[in-house]
Amino acid sequence: MSLADREEAEVRQVLAGLAVPLAPAGLAAEAMRKGRGRRRRRARLRRAGWVLLCCAVLAFAVWAARTRPWTVPEEVTTPSYPRW
């Protein structure tokens, strides 16, 4: 018997002696309830993120349309002097 076979036999013997623990009653139902809640929360957060992104894009578009940052401002080199 090789070392690997001996170790495997020991592991099998230890595992055979262990009793399989029973899951508590209602564990699956509780996990499903929590999973549904997490899924709803993630959906709400995703929806809120999209709404926030759309509002930011709209605000930027309104700001850009009003201030027109792409145009070059008029250059004023000297003030006008009325009495010349």
> Rounded distance, CA 36 to CA 41, Å?
9
The answer to whether position 9 is within a domain reads no
Total of domains in the chain: 1
Digit-coded pLDDT (tens) for 5-46:
889 998 888 888 777 767 788 898 999 999 999 999 999 999
Whole domain around residue 42: which residue ranges? Answer: 32-66
The answer to whether position 75 is within a domain reads no
Q: What is the pLDDT of residue 84?
A: 59
HEC states along the chain?
CCHHHHHHHHHHHHHHHCCCCCCCCCHHHHHHHHHHHHHHHHHHHHHHHHHHHHHHHHHHHHHHHHHCCCCCCCCCCCCCCCCC
Is residue 59, in this structure, part of any structural domain at all?
A: yes
The overall average pLDDT reported for the chain is 88
